[in-house]
Structure 1
Amino acid sequence: MSKRIADAAEAQPASLKAGERPVSETSPDEVGEFEDEYEDEFESEDEIFEAGVDGRPDEEREADEQRDAMDIDKQTFIPGRTKLAPGETLAPDPSTYEMLHTISTPWPCLSFDIVHDTLGDDRKTFPATIYAIAGTQADANRPRENELMVLKLSGLSRMEREGETDSDGDSDEDEESPSDPILESKTIPLGSITNRIRVHQNPPQSRDYSKPSQTIAATMLENSQVLIHDVSAHLASFDVPGTVLSPSTSNPISTLRMHKSEGYALDWSPLQPLGKLLTGDNDGLIYVTTRTEGGGWVTDSRPFVGHSSSVEELQWSPNERNVFASASSDGSVKVWDVRSKSRKPAVDVKISKTDINVMSWSKQTFHLLATGADDGQWAVWDLRHWKPNASSGSSSPQSKPSPVASFGFHTQPITSIEWHPTDDSVIAVSSADNTITLWDLAVELDDEENRDAGVIDVPPQLLFVHYMESVKEIHWQTQMPGTVMATGSNGFGVFKTISV
């Protein structure tokens, strides 16, 4: 949770930048140790007054006053509601995080995806490790420096807390002390900015977790091409010191050129082991590309047509292999069946007057769909209440249905949204207002309870606010409960809160 902190005195340590791991200037052994005020004896009453009005040395008294001033100045920062005064900066509240790290890369990344690894599920020990892929956004004058990055983040340590004990009452002396995270990377030249990148691995029901799975990455580039790479060898090389990758491993296994304009919508089917890919562009066209038994890639010659503006997001149904949804800057969400000969949507609903930027289909409760819009609104919809089109040739969307939940907390466009992988009431949302918020839809408070808590203008479902500059995309690490990874203008952030 971000705090705003006023500069109290020249001796006060500089506030941390939001998202940085707080580092104490004193060692753990020094924290909490103070000079005994009775250790020095004063020979006269004059010496007592010289030491301070309360009989303590000036340094100790001033330090206490400074700490008191800092405690008074700390306030929770609420986006769009809290204003920073001159001399105030944002800093994370360490007591609200179980883990907090930032990792820099040579160029910022607009998009990334987390790779399912063989280290086990439900991991709660530290230091932690995450594997991911990302695509860079190099300077416009240096497009050839753009790369696909295969990443290994290790040494992700737990937040150190003074005096914390484990469940047996013993201190955590056996745990590895906090250290800086380690970023290892393997790169593949791309030559163009990555708009969206997604990983495909064998679906969970057909995956052998004891063996490395083939990992395929689809990268949607600014030049309108879609590149598909097999990054399995790159991932494996992290754990085999001295591995030298052949230059051929950087070659795409397929290059798709059916789009005539760039796009941002990309999704792999979770129910197709070989690989089935959705891509959408700024012309409103949606294509399906399927991997054949022989390893080739075939794109349907006829696109799915229906949006009057750019396709911003695509999501396969988590439980029906032939169904997907699309969201567009025309303000509508459409549901499609790939078996349809007409290539028209089966369901067409207008839900916003502004662009629908992002969308997430719940993997726990299959009839729930979350959307985020350009006006800062995000909402959850019950697809059972969306009526099918009267005819497959209908081009008029339905009037806006009522959402299950809707929030206008964010003040800028929603940039990413994702359901918690195992809890169908928890959602992570990021916004161009430089914040990531975590929500629990199961929480309910009435107005009186809100007033008593002093947060009448804050939705009770809001669990947490994390500050991150120009945050673009967020994902849950599904094997590490409650862990969120995000990308922004200053690199990657990884955090886990004590509230989720």
Structure 2
Amino acid sequence: MTKPNRREEGGAPIRPAVWRPGVDGMDADEELEYDPSVYDCLHAWQLDWPCLSFDILRDELGDTRERFPHSLFAIAGTQADVATKNHLTMMRLTRLKKTRRVDKAAADMDDDSDASESDSDDEDGGIAPINGPIIQVQKVAHHGAVNRVRACPHRPSLVATWGETGVVQVWDLAPQLTKLSMLTADARDAQAAMNVQPQRSAPRHAFTGHADEGYAMDWSPTVDARLATGDNAGGIHVWEPREGGRWAVDKTAVFKGHESSVEDLQWSPAEAQVFASCGADGYVCVWDARNANAAPALRVKTHECDVNVMSWNRVANCMLATGADDGSLRIWDLRMFSPSDAKHVANFSFHRGPVTSVEWSRFDSAMLATASADHTVCVWDLAVERDAEEEAAAMAAEDNAMAPEDLPPQLMFVHQGLKDPKELHWHHQIPGLCLTTAADGFNAFKAYNVGPGC
């Protein structure tokens, strides 16, 4: 967000400035404006209830999709005002258009102007106006609010939910996914679909062995249908897939190394028997999945407060990111990760509220995104270093917003305008596209400086 242009007493315009929540104040006559030229696309939509968690489903539309308009599938779990009103919502979004607004003369000189114009619906060949995608849904009833939802990477229709009731359930949503895939992308059909009643469907498996409700959950990227779940009592269970679409979950086999709640966990991207967890005790634990009821292989103090979220880099497997309650984001090299001498590779304190989500990009080993209770979503590029000459040239341009000097150079983009963001995900088949859920609904955006060719 930037402060809009105002004029000094002599009539000269004041250059817009980047506004930071919790740091910069505002005068009574000032308003925040977003700059449409810095988003390749920006879309917002709402479901019937807020969603604390969602996940993106892998589809068969192709990898490394760059050309607009885009289509995608996602699954979300509601936080309704009454337990019996909750449901899982499987979404199909089409017509995610390019929304970037740039100067027409500049667009005509751009080598990619033909692609930009063909992606728009503007008959004059200009840039498409901002309008929403077509949303089609299928709903499945879920008793109690959904704390977290995750889709299996190997089988997207296989979905796991952590409920506020303390029960973890696995659902086979293949019929719903098939029906969505067969629908035509028609706005009238989409409006009718939004009003459908949730279907009653029995979960494929339900586990009631956790001592409390929880939020930590992750499917293994290396072993098909293997799941790990952690609860607020500090316990973790590993689900082993069995024939017939069932799982073996031993109530007595507990991975317990945190002194309080397990906030998040991640399987190793490369080692089938290794996963990591973070907790409200400020520790990160690394586990051998074959050794239940044993101490963690590593237990390292990473923050002096709750570690809310973590992400294991799927490209550079030695890198781990953690986000904490004090707003700090830390990067760790697991090759130098030990209880006696754990030194973070990087530490960023830009956020002015708890970090609620963090995720590495699948297309760039140095890029990740964070969401925070300070109402911001940030994109970071650890490969960027400060360049004084480049910064001076950028600031010399009259139309550039003034950036505070104390911003870290690795901070590539700050997305604002959403209320209390809870979770974010990169789309793993559309480079640079980021989706978020917040108290006021969903956003899908792609920053102009993120992705191929930037």
TM-score norm. by structure 1 comes to 0.78
CA contact (8 A) 2:256 2:293 kept: no
Equivalent position of 1:405 in the other structure: 346
Alignment gaps of 5+ in structure 1: 9-64, 203-212, 388-397
Deviates more, 1:171-180 or 1:250-259: 171-180
1:459 aligns with 2:393: no
| Contact 2:58-2:156 within 8 A present in 1 as well | no
What's the offset of the Cα at 1:448?
9.2
Question: 2: CA distance between counterparts of 1:400 and 1:187?
Answer: 49
Match of 2:206 in 1: 255
From the superposition, tell whether residues 231 and 415 of structure 1 become closer, same or farther in structure 2 (CA, over 3 Å). Answer: same
Letter in 2 for 1:418: E
Structure 2 residue aligned with 1:36: none
Distance 1:418 1:408 in 2: 17
| Structure with bigger gyration radius | 1
2:163 aligned partner: 221
* 1:283-320 CA distance string (max 9 Å, x none): 00000112202321110231111110000001000000
- Indicate if the aligned counterparts of 2:139 and 2:197 stay in contact, CA closer than 8 A: no
Give, in angstroms, the shift of residue 169 of structure 1.
6.1
Instruction: Tell me the CA shift for residue 79 of structure 1.
Output: 3.0
Give the superposition deviation at 1:89.
2.8
Name which of 361, 367, 376 aligns with 1:426.
367
**2:2·2:33 contact (CA, 8 Å) conserved in 1?**
yes
Residue 445 to residue 175, structure 1, CA distance change in 2 (3 Å) = closer
- Counterparts of residues 38-437 of structure 1 (less than 5 Å): 72=14, 74-139=16-81, 142-159=82-99, 160-163=101-104, 164-165=107-108, 167=111, 170=114, 172-177=116-121, 178=128, 179-202=131-154, 213=155, 215-241=157-183, 250-273=201-224, 275-301=225-251, 302-340=253-291, 342-387=293-338, 398-399=339-340, 401-437=342-378
Cα distance, 1:99–1:446 mapped onto 2, change above 3 Å: closer
Q: CA shift at 1:73, angstroms?
A: 6.2
Cα pair distance change 1:172/1:283, threshold 3 Å: closer
1:181-208 residue CA offsets vs partner (Å, 9 max, x unmatched): 1111111111211111100032xxxxxx
Question: How many Å separate the matches in 2 of 1:215 and 1:258?
Answer: 24
Counterpart residue type for residue 423 of structure 1: D
Q: Helix, strand or coil: the match of 2:222? A: coil
| CA distance in structure 1 between the aligned counterparts of 2:43 and 2:347, rounded to whole angstroms | 31
Structure 2 unmatched ranges of 5 or more = 122-127, 396-402
Rounded to whole Å, the distance in 2 between the matches of 1:172 and 1:356 is 42
Rounded to whole Å, the distance in 2 between the matches of 1:248 and 1:100 is 31
Deviation of 1:122 after TM superposition, in Å, equals 1.1
Number of the residue aligned with 1:51: none
Q: Residues 358 and 400 of structure 1: is their aligned pair in 2 closer, same or farther, counting only changes over 3 Å?
A: farther
1:374 Cα deviation after fit? 0.3
1:476 pairs with one of 414, 426, 436: 426
Residue number in structure 2 paired with 1:442: 383
| Contact residue 223 and residue 262 of structure 1 kept, 8 A | yes
**Mapped partners of 2:135, 2:112: distance in 1:** 34
C-alpha separation in 2, matches of 1:479 and 1:168: 21
| Contact map agreement 1:230 1:249 (CA 8 A) in 2 | no
| Equivalent-residue separation in structure 2 for 1:99 and 1:168 (angstroms) | 16
Distance 2:115 2:254 in 1: 61
In 1, Cα distance between equivalents of 2:197 and 2:15: 57
Instruction: Summarize the Cα distance change of 1:168–1:431 in structure 2 as closer, same or farther, 3 Å threshold.
Output: closer
Matched residues, percent identical?
Answer: 41
Give the conservation status (yes or no) of the 8 Å contact 1:201–1:215: no
Counterparts in 2 of 1:145 and 1:483: CA distance versus 1, 3 Å: same
Confirm or deny: 8 A CA contact 1:356 1:371 kept in the other structure: yes
Distance across 2 between alignment mates of 1:154 and 1:477? 14
Partner of 1:393 in structure 2? none
2:438 is equivalent to residue 494 of structure 1: no
The 1-side partners of 2:3 and 2:37 are apart by 15
Q: Check the 8 A contact 1:6/1:88 in 2, yes or no.
A: no
Distance 1:169 1:248, change over 3 A: closer
Partners of 1:494 and 1:214 in 2: CA distance: 20
Match of 2:125 in 1: none
Q: Deviations over 1:323-347 (max 9, x none)?
A: 0000000000000001125521000
Task: Specify the code of the residue in structure 1 equivalent to 2:376.
Answer: T
